[in-house]
Amino acid sequence: MRASETSLPGVIVLDVDEHADARGSVREVYRKDRFQPAVEFVQDNVAISVRGALRGLHYRVAPQAKLVMVVEGAIFDVAVDVRRDSPTYGHHFATELSAENRRQLFIPAGFAHGYQATTERAVVVYKLTAPFDPADDRAVRWDDPALAIPWPLEHPILSKRDAAAPLLAEQE
Protein backbone atom coordinates (compact mmCIF):
# COMPACT_ATOMS: atom_id res chain seq x y z
CA MET A 1 0.00 0.00 0.00
CA ARG A 2 1.36 3.41 -0.97
CA ALA A 3 0.19 6.63 0.69
CA SER A 4 0.21 10.02 -1.04
CA GLU A 5 -0.48 13.42 0.48
CA THR A 6 -3.05 15.61 -1.26
CA SER A 7 -3.58 19.36 -1.51
CA LEU A 8 -5.42 19.22 1.83
CA PRO A 9 -3.28 18.39 4.88
CA GLY A 10 -4.36 15.08 6.39
CA VAL A 11 -6.38 13.90 3.38
CA ILE A 12 -4.44 10.92 2.05
CA VAL A 13 -4.81 8.82 -1.09
CA LEU A 14 -3.89 5.16 -0.61
CA ASP A 15 -3.07 2.92 -3.56
CA VAL A 16 -3.71 -0.69 -2.61
CA ASP A 17 -1.64 -3.56 -3.97
CA GLU A 18 -3.40 -6.50 -5.55
CA HIS A 19 -2.00 -10.01 -5.79
CA ALA A 20 -3.56 -11.91 -8.69
CA ASP A 21 -3.22 -15.36 -10.16
CA ALA A 22 -5.40 -17.84 -12.05
CA ARG A 23 -7.79 -18.11 -9.06
CA GLY A 24 -8.53 -14.39 -8.85
CA SER A 25 -7.01 -11.76 -6.59
CA VAL A 26 -6.44 -10.65 -3.00
CA ARG A 27 -6.14 -7.10 -1.68
CA GLU A 28 -5.05 -6.12 1.82
CA VAL A 29 -7.32 -3.12 2.36
CA TYR A 30 -6.52 -2.34 5.98
CA ARG A 31 -4.04 -3.43 8.60
CA LYS A 32 -3.84 -1.43 11.80
CA ASP A 33 -0.08 -1.82 12.34
CA ARG A 34 0.64 -0.45 8.84
CA PHE A 35 -1.96 2.28 8.64
CA GLN A 36 -0.73 5.85 9.13
CA PRO A 37 -2.00 8.09 10.58
CA ALA A 38 -2.73 5.71 13.45
CA VAL A 39 -6.46 5.77 14.12
CA GLU A 40 -8.93 3.32 15.60
CA PHE A 41 -11.90 2.48 13.43
CA VAL A 42 -15.08 1.45 15.28
CA GLN A 43 -17.72 1.09 12.56
CA ASP A 44 -17.82 -0.19 8.96
CA ASN A 45 -20.56 0.79 6.50
CA VAL A 46 -21.51 -0.30 3.00
CA ALA A 47 -23.48 2.01 0.69
CA ILE A 48 -24.87 0.90 -2.66
CA SER A 49 -25.66 3.68 -5.11
CA VAL A 50 -27.05 3.93 -8.64
CA ARG A 51 -25.43 6.03 -11.37
CA GLY A 52 -25.86 9.74 -10.62
CA ALA A 53 -26.64 9.28 -6.91
CA LEU A 54 -24.87 11.99 -4.93
CA ARG A 55 -24.39 11.46 -1.20
CA GLY A 56 -23.13 14.40 0.81
CA LEU A 57 -21.51 16.61 1.69
CA HIS A 58 -21.72 15.24 5.25
CA TYR A 59 -19.66 15.85 8.36
CA ARG A 60 -19.95 15.47 12.11
CA VAL A 61 -19.64 18.05 14.84
CA ALA A 62 -17.78 15.51 17.04
CA PRO A 63 -14.53 14.24 15.50
CA GLN A 64 -14.88 11.41 12.99
CA ALA A 65 -12.40 10.26 10.36
CA LYS A 66 -13.21 7.95 7.41
CA LEU A 67 -11.39 5.51 5.18
CA VAL A 68 -13.36 5.14 1.93
CA MET A 69 -12.99 2.47 -0.77
CA VAL A 70 -15.05 1.14 -3.68
CA VAL A 71 -15.48 -2.62 -4.17
CA GLU A 72 -17.74 -2.42 -7.24
CA GLY A 73 -18.07 0.35 -9.83
CA ALA A 74 -16.69 3.88 -9.43
CA ILE A 75 -17.36 7.16 -7.64
CA PHE A 76 -16.19 10.78 -7.78
CA ASP A 77 -15.14 11.26 -4.15
CA VAL A 78 -14.77 14.66 -2.46
CA ALA A 79 -13.38 15.92 0.86
CA VAL A 80 -14.03 19.53 1.94
CA ASP A 81 -12.19 21.24 4.78
CA VAL A 82 -14.85 22.61 7.17
CA ARG A 83 -12.48 23.58 10.00
CA ARG A 84 -13.04 27.33 10.37
CA ASP A 85 -9.54 27.97 11.74
CA SER A 86 -7.81 26.08 8.92
CA PRO A 87 -5.85 27.86 6.15
CA THR A 88 -7.58 25.49 3.70
CA TYR A 89 -11.11 26.11 5.03
CA GLY A 90 -13.60 25.73 2.18
CA HIS A 91 -11.08 24.01 -0.12
CA HIS A 92 -11.82 20.60 -1.55
CA PHE A 93 -9.95 17.60 -2.91
CA ALA A 94 -11.57 15.21 -5.37
CA THR A 95 -10.50 11.92 -6.91
CA GLU A 96 -11.97 8.88 -8.58
CA LEU A 97 -12.22 5.79 -6.43
CA SER A 98 -13.05 2.58 -8.23
CA ALA A 99 -12.86 -1.18 -7.89
CA GLU A 100 -10.50 -1.08 -10.84
CA ASN A 101 -8.00 1.52 -9.54
CA ARG A 102 -8.07 0.05 -5.97
CA ARG A 103 -7.62 3.56 -4.55
CA GLN A 104 -8.75 4.50 -1.04
CA LEU A 105 -9.23 7.94 0.48
CA PHE A 106 -8.53 8.74 4.13
CA ILE A 107 -10.53 11.76 5.30
CA PRO A 108 -9.57 13.09 8.74
CA ALA A 109 -11.93 14.63 11.27
CA GLY A 110 -12.99 18.17 10.38
CA PHE A 111 -13.79 17.46 6.74
CA ALA A 112 -17.10 17.07 4.96
CA HIS A 113 -17.34 14.10 2.63
CA GLY A 114 -19.48 13.35 -0.39
CA TYR A 115 -19.45 11.32 -3.56
CA GLN A 116 -21.32 10.73 -6.79
CA ALA A 117 -21.69 7.29 -8.34
CA THR A 118 -20.38 7.38 -11.92
CA THR A 119 -21.17 3.78 -12.88
CA GLU A 120 -24.53 2.00 -13.08
CA ARG A 121 -23.90 0.62 -9.59
CA ALA A 122 -21.28 1.58 -7.05
CA VAL A 123 -20.62 -0.27 -3.81
CA VAL A 124 -18.75 1.90 -1.32
CA VAL A 125 -17.23 0.56 1.89
CA TYR A 126 -16.04 2.95 4.55
CA LYS A 127 -14.56 2.68 8.00
CA LEU A 128 -15.39 5.26 10.70
CA THR A 129 -13.52 6.32 13.83
CA ALA A 130 -16.79 7.15 15.66
CA PRO A 131 -20.23 5.56 15.40
CA PHE A 132 -22.89 7.32 13.35
CA ASP A 133 -25.07 9.62 15.46
CA PRO A 134 -27.87 11.42 13.59
CA ALA A 135 -27.97 14.19 16.22
CA ASP A 136 -24.33 15.03 15.46
CA ASP A 137 -24.59 14.79 11.66
CA ARG A 138 -24.39 17.93 9.50
CA ALA A 139 -24.46 18.61 5.75
CA VAL A 140 -23.16 21.26 3.37
CA ARG A 141 -24.97 21.90 0.12
CA TRP A 142 -23.43 19.77 -2.64
CA ASP A 143 -23.55 22.59 -5.22
CA ASP A 144 -22.38 25.45 -2.99
CA PRO A 145 -20.91 27.99 -5.48
CA ALA A 146 -18.16 28.90 -3.00
CA LEU A 147 -16.85 25.32 -3.14
CA ALA A 148 -16.95 25.05 -6.95
CA ILE A 149 -16.88 21.24 -6.95
CA PRO A 150 -16.88 19.93 -10.54
CA TRP A 151 -19.35 17.06 -10.09
CA PRO A 152 -19.06 14.82 -13.16
CA LEU A 153 -22.76 14.11 -13.81
CA GLU A 154 -25.51 16.69 -14.19
CA HIS A 155 -28.89 16.30 -12.48
CA PRO A 156 -27.76 14.20 -9.51
CA ILE A 157 -30.11 11.96 -7.58
CA LEU A 158 -30.29 13.50 -4.09
CA SER A 159 -31.96 12.82 -0.77
CA LYS A 160 -34.35 15.54 0.43
CA ARG A 161 -31.87 16.34 3.19
CA ASP A 162 -28.93 16.81 0.82
CA ALA A 163 -31.00 18.88 -1.62
CA ALA A 164 -31.94 21.27 1.20
CA ALA A 165 -28.56 21.41 2.98
CA PRO A 166 -27.26 24.89 3.82
CA LEU A 167 -24.27 26.54 2.18
CA LEU A 168 -20.91 26.34 3.96
CA ALA A 169 -21.16 30.03 4.95
CA GLU A 170 -24.49 29.27 6.67
CA GLN A 171 -23.10 26.51 8.92
CA GLU A 172 -23.29 26.84 12.71
> Which residues belong to the active site?
58, 126
- Distances in Å between the alpha carbon of 33 and those of 47, 82, 125, 128, 137? 26, 29, 20, 17, 30
Q: How many CB atoms lie within 10 A of CB 33?
A: 6
Q: Please say whether the beta carbons of 128 and 45 come within 8 A.
A: yes
Dist. CA 147–CA 168, nearest whole Å: 8
Q: Is omega for the bond preceding 57 within 30 degrees of 0, making it cis?
A: yes
In Å, how far from its chain's centre is CA 84? 20
